[in-house]
């Protein structure tokens, strides 16, 4: 049986992402991602997903290079671990939205329960577009698809600033625990 699991000679093995295949399928099909499309993966460890997308023939990157993309996938990014309605995350999302092609989408892909679905709704509702939220195999996919007309980076930034951001947590998952006082005497 183990011999059946090895890649065939001369054929590369499929890169591992840590994301269940049904979730990957949902991500690709729902956003019509295939060869010829550009994807930006944002997060602390985007390499597996970038490698997987490249394996499929999709132009995928983990760093912005100034070219517009069809899809931005936010995967476990440190900046988004706190409150999603804070100024930093809103400004980052505005910047990412400014890099989308007309009709492109931004997706939060959360398999670790970092936030409740309501957090993504509150965060993405600041920006114009069509919002969808789905759960698949314990993973949340929260998507904002922008309109076919482009906005300037300044317009996206103004939308995030007009939101009247808050430093309050958006959910219990975003509450950072207070450090425990040290029991060691100085």
CA distance 84 to 166: 9
Alpha helices in the chain (DSSP H): 2-5, 21-30, 47-55, 87-98, 117-124, 153-162
pLDDT value, residue 100: 95
Task: Report pLDDT digits (tens) over 27-82.
Answer: 999 999 999 999 999 986 767 899 999 999 999 998 888 889 999 999 877 778 78
Task: Report pLDDT digits (tens) over 127-163.
Answer: 999 999 888 878 888 999 999 888 999 999 999 998 8
For the cut 70, the answer to whether the pLDDT of residue 186 exceeds it is no
CA distance 131 to 27: 14
Strands of 69-75's sheet in order across: 59-61, 38-43, 69-75, 100-110, 139-145, 130-136
For the cut 70, the answer to whether the pLDDT of residue 173 exceeds it is no
Mean pLDDT of 122-129: 92
Q: Cβ contacts of residue 131 below 8 Å, gap of 6+?
A: 121, 124, 125, 142, 143, 144
Domains of the chain: 16-163 (3.40.50.150)
Task: Report pLDDT digits (tens) over 2-20.
Answer: 444 455 555 668 888 888 9
pTM of the model: 0.83
């Amino acid at each position: 049986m183990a011999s059946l699991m090895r890649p065939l000679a001369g054929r590369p093995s499929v890169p591992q992402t840590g994301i269940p295949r049904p979730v990957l399928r949902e991500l690709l099909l729902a956003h019509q991602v295939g060869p010829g499309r550009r994807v930006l993966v944002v997060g602390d460890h985007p390499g597996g997903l970038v490698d997987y997308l490249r394996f499929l023939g999709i132009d995928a990157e983990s760093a912005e290079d100034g070219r517009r993309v069809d899809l931005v996938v936010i995967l476990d990014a440190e900046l988004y671990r706190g409150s999603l309605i804070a100024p930093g995350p809103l400004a980052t999302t505005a910047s990412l939205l400014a890099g989308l092609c007309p009709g492109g989408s931004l997706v939060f892909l959360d398999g670790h329960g970092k936030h409740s679905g309501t957090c993504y709704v509150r965060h993405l509702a600041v920006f114009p577009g069509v919002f969808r939220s789905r759960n698949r195999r314990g993973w949340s996919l929260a998507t904002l698809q922008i309109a076919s007309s482009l906005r300037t980076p300044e317009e996206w930034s103004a939308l995030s600033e007009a939101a009247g951001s808050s430093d309050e947590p958006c959910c219990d998952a975003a509450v950072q625990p207070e450090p425990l006082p040290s029991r060691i005497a100085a």
